[in-house]
Chains A and B, each alone.
Chain A
């Protein structure tokens, strides 16, 4: 891990009129670190994620990202062209619903290849080779490369979405409920895969989830949100094993035991 953070979030707030989306959120994210944002529905997790990932303009605060040249840039002071370029090269965004992140009417290979073509790759053979390689890494067999994601199961779609995001070698990946809507065995396999990829590639990730088990498996650190505020922040094991805030204690004790 490097001495400098990858992402600096300071004082980020988002108001929807007089209602609070999220308020005064501060944190830093280091390269290779996985941060989980947990909390109940409506607690502002997704609003915060959208604010950080330039999908939603925050009312106040700044988000700074360390570019590949080592300089910090405020995301909201960059031009839209630069921001969009960043989003499709150095970043990834894994949506809860794969249909939001995939092109459902083009083949799996083209889905993975799109980012490569967007950054100027113009050799069909090489694009296809890379796509095949990535499908293998997310455990989709190579003979499905020309099938459309419509014919894929939920778990496969989610894995395809991950491959599509990782193909340009991003340094930071945002995940919004990556395992939402998947059954437990598929969830387990996906989590295993994501954990492996994050370790192998040294990715930094911000994972939004309401599932504490997902946070436990994937993340190094976690933030607990309630009503738009971050109420607890610490190492994942510490927060889950020794929750300090009454709400966190409630959350942890609400997990069903089998």
Chain B
């Protein structure tokens, strides 16, 4: 096997990585600005994280430890396949523990455990343009970003309140980065927006199909847009996690049967497992072991 032609380290060729790194550096220099880059075909379909994978491939080194999450979970298809991909093409160590990882590629969640200096969070972004569904012309949205004309974003929030009585947007909630660019934080639940603010970790966003990279450098102000009389709020949950009893974390609803049975569990599986290892037990796990498994 060893004499066969193999992939370059981390799949992409060095020239491509160089191009992506330049885009990343530019993105870090202008927080929240969408930098166009020559996105490559990746061995996975668009919408599966081609942007995130390219960013990860451009920054990963042999000594890095990679964690990949999909909707908070380490064990779902997208996470498993991307993790396997980098194990194969970069031969890096992988982990499911947030604290051990140096690079975390994520689809739609920020881990519950606070990220620390030196960690990099890579987001997979489907639609990088926050103004997309308000203004269909790319030429116009770019001009609006350039001239800082963001009134339209509030029109969307106004509509939400007029129709639903509150800002009903729950994910991809627009933020203003460093007091300048309005940014789509990818379809993360708005629950995670406050974690982006002044984060110790570097946050990189890659959109493969749309060919855009943007970034939030560490210790950067990230403010969710709102109205004075309708301030930004995050989701709250009435229950605790059914498995680990965690409170104040983002929970997924799991339907158990067709008779209205349901449970709420931590969306961040690593966080949940870690808590259970430390002896925390949720309502469901205590009386009935099987239902939870």
Contact = CB atoms under 8 A, between A and B. Distances in A.
Interface stretch (A112-120, A149-157, A233-241): A112-120
A106 B155 contact: yes
A81 interface: yes
A122 interface: yes
Contacts of B152: 114, 117-118
Q: Main SS of the interface on chain A?
A: helix
A85 to B, nearest CB: 8
Contact of B159 (A80, A81, A106, A125): A106
B163 interface: yes
Given A84-B147, A124-B161, A113 B227 contact: no
Interface residues of B, number: 19
Contacts of B148: 81
Contacts of A103: 155
Nearest to B230: A124
Interface string A99-142: 00001001101100111011100111101100000000000000
A74 interface: no
A107 B229 CA distance: 20
A98 to B, nearest CB: 17
A122 B163 contact: no
Contact of B151 (A81, A107, A109, A118): A118
Pick the most buried of A114, A122, A123, A145: most chain B CB atoms within 10 A of its CB.
A122
Pick the most buried of B156, B159, B228, B230: most chain A CB atoms within 10 A of its CB.
B159
Contacts, number: 53
Interface residues of A, number: 22
B147 A117 contact: no
B137 interface: no
A150 to B, nearest CB: 14
Interface in B197-236: 226-230
Nearest to A106: B159
Pick the most buried of A81, A84, A110, A118: most chain B CB atoms within 10 A of its CB.
A110
B253 interface: no
Contacts of B159: 106-107, 110
A40 B63 CA distance: 76
A245 interface: no
Contacts of A119: 151
Nearest to B167: A124
Interface in A143-183: 145-146
Pick the most buried of B151, B156, B161: most chain A CB atoms within 10 A of its CB.
B151
Interface of B: 143, 147-149, 151-152, 154-156, 158-159, 161-163, 226-230
10 contacts: A107-B162, A109-B158, A113-B158, A117-B154, A118-B149, A122-B226, A124-B227, A124-B229, A127-B158, A146-B163
Given A106-B159, A109-B162, 12 more contacts: A106-B156, A110-B155, A113-B155, A114-B152, A114-B155, A117-B151, A117-B152, A118-B149, A122-B226, A123-B227, A124-B158, A125-B229
